[in-house]
Amino acid sequence: MPPFDVPEGDPFGPHNLPYGVFSPAGADGPAGPAGPGAGRRVGVRLGDRVLDAGAAARALGSPYASLLARPSLNPLLAAGRTTWSDVRRALTAWLTVPSHRETIEPFFHPLSSVALHLPFEVADYVDFYSSEHHARNVGRIFRPDAADSLTPNWKHLPIGYHGRAGTVVVSGTDVVRPSGQRKGPADPAPVFGPSVRLDIEAEVGFVVGAPSRPGTPVPLADFREHVFGLCLLNDWSARDIQAWEYVPLGPFLGKSFATSVSAWITPLEALDEARTAPPARTHPLLPYLDDSAPGTEPGGYDLRIGVEINGHAVSGPPFSAMYWTAAQQLAHLTVNGASLRTGDLYASGTVSGPDPDQRGSLLELTWNGRDPLELPDGKRTFLEDGDVVTLSAWAPGAGGTRVGLGEVTGRVVAR
């Protein structure tokens, strides 16, 4: 098959074109010719191949070569929305116009032959809590006697916390089981040791490209001026550590040991057909969060997520069910005047739908361990050493196509 062509219906066809950072076989790491990191470059995925975007740009005399011939996506992220569109248009032409084929061909690498790296330098990392189904499940599990499974603030603002940017890792990175303090309600004193309730959270991460000025909130309408794209994200969570430490300041060491992201960042422009209205709002919103006004762009995305443990499907969370949108999350996280930096990453919060098989965490899927999952390789309440968790997703594209998101996978290893 000629390099340009992808099979009919491939979710990574020329309608998608996600960005990543790769190094060709043998070019990266201590054994490489110029030391660690020397071989890294921006890649664009087409089917099961990766285009060396900077090399292709140089060969074609493109003005975008200086943005693309880099070891990170950050320069492209910082360039802003007009440039994002221009580069995407150029790439689409390179990959579809037959006269470019001969020039482009040498710059493809088989996906299976390359090493994939964290595609951007993560600046700040924020995690939200924006699925009503998830929040209600958690409320029922941990506050069974409460009159309302949601906290009083939940319908008025997207709840979030600042996480640890330095431990965001690319898909494929092993996750070392965290250790910490835990204390059950019946325990007389806390104990220290490896987490015995290690969990996942199936989420979507949004990658900020264009920065904002301190003191200047980003309104809902400017979401696409600042956010470059999205990726799947697994917010690994040690429930036992979390339960003991989180009062009153929120998640800390139960979350900060690792957060996995896909190697591929899907530009928002590839997901235009997947935009959808969020669920009906049940409470009036303050003006900076109000997305009900006529003419407001639909803020939701119809992403169909799949969760697998050791290759067995355990859940299918629908992102379209998220109550708070990414635009509202961005408006909220800047409304106090906090500025954005290129490379900021914010995650949606665990994606859970209304049905039991649409829950995005083992906490919910097993109802805090009460109802173990029956997998072909044994029962699971929480994760065991050696377990491999993989999130995948697709979104509807134009004309019945599917837009694939890059998977995020990780294996739990003992310390």
124 or 235: CB nearest Mn ion: 235
Report the alpha-carbon angle 94-13-121, nearest 5.
80
68 or 126: CB nearest Mn ion: 126
| SS3 at position 138 | helix
**Distance separating alpha carbons of residues 127 and 132, to the nearest angstrom:** 15
Site string for Mn ion, 149-188 (x = CB under 5 A): ----------------------------------------
CB of 201 to Mn ion, least distance (A): 4
Of 117, 134, 226, 332, the active-site residue reads 134
**Distance separating alpha carbons of residues 68 and 52, to the nearest angstrom:** 9
93 or 165: CB nearest Mn ion: 165
Question: Which residue's beta carbon is nearest to the bound Mn ion?
Answer: 235
| Positions in 127-146 near Mn ion (CB under 5 A) | 127
Span near Mn ion by CB under 5 A; candidates 67-75, 196-204, 307-315, 353-361:
196-204
Tokens found for residue 283: 């409470």
CB of 257 to Mn ion, least distance (A): 13
CB of 339 to Mn ion, least distance (A): 23
235 or 387: CB nearest Mn ion: 235
Closest by CA to 40, choosing from 89, 109, 86, 95, is: 109
132 or 201: CB nearest Mn ion: 201
Span near Mn ion by CB under 5 A; candidates 78-86, 194-202, 286-294, 319-327:
194-202
Q: How many residues bind Mn ion (CB under 5 A)?
A: 3
Can you tell me which residue has the tokens 């209205």?
A: 277
CB of 174 to Mn ion, least distance (A): 20
CB of 30 to Mn ion, least distance (A): 34
**Under 8 Å between Cβ of 130 and 323:** yes
**Under 8 Å between Cβ of 238 and 197:** yes
Q: Residue 134: left if φ>0, alpha if ψ -120 to 50, beta else—which one?
A: alpha
DSSP per-residue codes, 309-337: ETTEEEE--BGGG-SS-HHHHHHHHHTTS
CB of 131 to Mn ion, least distance (A): 10
DSSP per-residue codes, 22-67: EE-TTSSSTTSTT-TTTT-EEEEEETTEEEEHHHHHHHTT-TTHHH
Binding status of residue 235 toward Mn ion by CB under 5 A? yes
52 or 127: CB nearest Mn ion: 127
Span near Mn ion by CB under 5 A; candidates 59-67, 102-110, 228-236, 270-278:
228-236
Examine the residue annotation and report whether 133 is marked as an active-site residue of this protein.
no
Peptide bond into 298 cis (omega under 30): no
Q: Look up residue 286 and give its amino acid.
A: L
Site string for Mn ion, 305-344 (x = CB under 5 A): ----------------------------------------
Question: 3-class secondary structure for 82-102?
Answer: HHHHHHHHHHHHHHHCHHHHH
Span near Mn ion by CB under 5 A; candidates 125-133, 362-370, 394-402, 406-414:
125-133
Residues forming the active site: 134
Q: Contact residues for Mn ion (CB under 5 A)?
A: 127, 201, 235
